[in-house]
Each structure stands twice: as structure tokens, then as C-alpha cells.
Amino acid sequence: MATKKRLWFWNLLIIVTVVVCILAFAAHYKNWTKIEADQMTILSGIYYHDLKYGEIDSVLWVDKIPPMERLNGFSAFDKGKGVYREFRDSLTDKKVYVFVDDFSSQKIRFVNKDASQLFLNLKDSTETQKMYAFFVEKLESAPK
């Protein structure tokens, strides 16, 4: 009776691959935000950005994001994440960070004092509205 050769390495590799794919999906599934005393941290998959309250120049509602060139990132269905550059401002190389969970909903546009921009919305539109109100209050209470 011959013994059956076990392919434990390939089985382990398949399990690790499936786990990594599930973790990658969970990380990109939504925008993960953490509000701290001096900044908000946004994490979505491999894209990460610290938005410092003192560097924000303006906070606005926008219905659509402007046409941009994607430096890296992705757009799938109703989501868009990554680092972009505006067409009209391609000479200055200012980066635009996009963390959009729903293109059909309104987005918050943050403009920093160095003219860089960030577009953000969350899956839940009421959470996005609360975040907008929070940042407007932060901007109004900031010393000038």
C-alpha cells in the first residue's frame, strides 16, 4: 500500500491567499476614519492620509469631483480611491486625494493652505453630513 504524498505547502498557500484577499476587501470596503484632537486619519485599503485641522483652508460641499488624471488608485462601481492630479493644474503637481464611497452622493471638498485638495464621503450620507458640520465648526472656531 503506497502512502499518499501530502501537499501541505500548496494547501497553506491557498489558505493564506484567501485570507489576504478577504482582508484586502475589508480594508477597501469603506473609508475608515479616526478623529483625534489635532487631525483626522483616513484609511482606505493601502491609501492613508492625515488631515490636520490647522492646515485646512476651506471645507465645501460638491456634487461632482472635477475631471482629474489618476496617478494611482482605482474606481470601481460607485467608489473611487487614490491620488489624482487635476487637469487644469498639471504644471504645479498638486496632489488631490480622493476617498469617495458613493459618487452619486455629495462629497466634502477640503482645500488645504498649500492648495492640495481632498474629496471625501462615506457610505452613510448622514455620517458625511455630520462630518461636514464637525469640520465647519472646527474652521469657525479656529483662531485666525
Terminal Cα distance for the chain, rounded: 85
CB contact at 8 A, 39 and 52 = yes
Residue 73 inside a domain? The answer is yes
Reported in sequence order, the residue ranges of the chain that DSSP labels E, i.e. its strands, are 32-35, 39-44, 47-52, 56-62, 68-76, 79-86, 96-100, 107-112, 117-121
Residue 21 inside a domain? The answer is yes
Residue 1 inside a domain? The answer is no
- Does residue 88 or residue 77 have the better pLDDT? 77
Q: Which domain holds residue 13?
A: 8-141
Q: Which residues pair with 39 in a beta bridge?
A: 52
Residue 3 inside a domain? The answer is no
Number of domains in the chain: 1
Instruction: Find the CATH number of the domain harbouring 85.
Output: 2.30.29
Query: In this model, does residue 113 exceed pLDDT 60?
Result: yes
Sign of CA dihedral 50, 52, 55, 60: positive
Q: What is the pLDDT of residues 35-68, one digit of tens each?
A: 998 899 998 888 889 999 989 999 999 999 888 8
